[in-house]
Amino acid sequence: DIVMTQSPDSLALSLGERATINCKSSQSVLYTSNYKDHLAWYQQKPGQPPKLLFYWASTRESGVPDRFSGSGSGTDFTLTISSLQAEDVAVYYCQQYYTTPWTFGQGTKVEIK
């Protein structure tokens, strides 16, 4: 199985600050046949299902604010929130869909300081 490791486990920032979440896969999730990274990011608020933020590592899902960005390739990926808002308090997960079993990172909890 591909192991997804996120860092940090949690972070607390002030409103307006930049949040950076890292995700590392135990093997590359880049398909060389189409040069697409099979990596997604989700946001989960308490009591709600996860919400898709990005797929193909950096393709923003419709309706996701542009203060969110996804980057990286191969084994190292980053989710960035350029200016943290109160409504961004949530747990964020990365997920690889390069090969089954599809696997998730352990989650990063983002809070307001």
Choose between 17 and 44: whose C-beta lies nearer to another protein.
Answer: 44
> Dihedrals φ, ψ of 21, to 5°?
-120, 130
Choose between 25 and 95: whose C-beta lies nearer to another protein.
Answer: 95
- List residues near another protein by CB under 8 A: 38, 40, 42, 48-52, 55, 61, 93, 95, 97, 100-107
Least gap, CB of 97 to another protein (angstroms)? 3
Residues 6+ away with beta carbon under 8 Å from 27: 2, 75, 98
Beta bridge partners of 51: 43
